[in-house]
Structure 1
Amino acid sequence: MIHEYSDVQTINLGDGTRVWQYVVILPGAKIGKDCNICSHCLVENDVILGDRVTVKSGVQIWDGITIEDDVFIGPNVTFANDPFPRSKKYPEKFSKTIIREGASIGANATILPGIKVGRNSMIGAGSVVTKDVPDFTVVIGNPARVIRKI
Structure 2
Amino acid sequence: MTEKEKMLSGTLYNPANKELTREREVARKLCRQFNQSTETEKKLRVKILKELFQTENSSIWIEPSFKCDYGYNIKFGHKVFLNFDCVILDTCEVSLGDNVMIGPGVHIYTAQHPINPIERATWQETAAPVSIRDNVWLGGNTTICPGINIGEGSVIGAASVVTKDIPPGVVAAGNPCRVIRKVDEK
**Corresponding residue for residue 34 of structure 1:** 59
**Residue 34 of structure 1: CA displacement?**
2.1
**Corresponding residue for residue 12 of structure 1:** none
**Residue 83 of structure 1: CA displacement?**
2.6
Give unpaired runs (5+ residues) of structure 1: 8-15
Higher RCO (CA 8 Å, separation ≥ 6 residues): 2
For residues 24-61 of structure 1, the C-alpha deviation after alignment (integer angstroms, 9 at most, x for no partner) is: 77645436332211111024221111110000111122
Normalised to the residue count of structure 1, the TM-score between the two structures is 0.77
Q: 1:89–1:28: structure 2 CA closer, same or farther, 3 Å change rule?
A: farther
1:82 corresponds, among 111, 114, 138, to 111
* Segment drifting more, 47-56 vs 57-66: 57-66
Residues 32, 52 of structure 1: 8 Å contact kept: no
Residues 89, 111 of structure 2: 8 Å contact kept: no
State how far apart, in whole Å, the 1-side matches of 2:43 and 2:100 are.
14
For residues 116-142 of structure 1, the C-alpha deviation after alignment (integer angstroms, 9 at most, x for no partner) is: 011010000000101001000000110
State how far apart, in whole Å, the 1-side matches of 2:88 and 2:50 are.
10
Q: How does 1:1-16 map to 2 (within 5 A)?
A: 5-6=33-34
How many residues align? The count is: 135
Structure number with the higher helix fraction is 2
* Segment drifting more, 39-48 vs 63-72: 39-48
CA RMSD of aligned residues (A): 2.8
**SS of residue paired to 1:6:** helix
Residues 53, 75 of structure 2: 8 Å contact kept: no
Q: 1:18–1:139: structure 2 CA closer, same or farther, 3 Å change rule?
A: farther
Q: 1:143–1:33: structure 2 CA closer, same or farther, 3 Å change rule?
A: same
State how far apart, in whole Å, the 2-side matches of 1:111 and 1:31 are.
26
Residues 50, 57 of structure 2: 8 Å contact kept: no
Normalised to the residue count of structure 2, the TM-score between the two structures is 0.63
Give unpaired runs (5+ residues) of structure 2: 1-32, 36-41, 115-119
**Corresponding residue for residue 175 of structure 2:** 142
Point out the structure with max Rg over C-alpha: 2
Structure number with the higher strand fraction is 1
**SS of residue paired to 1:45:** coil
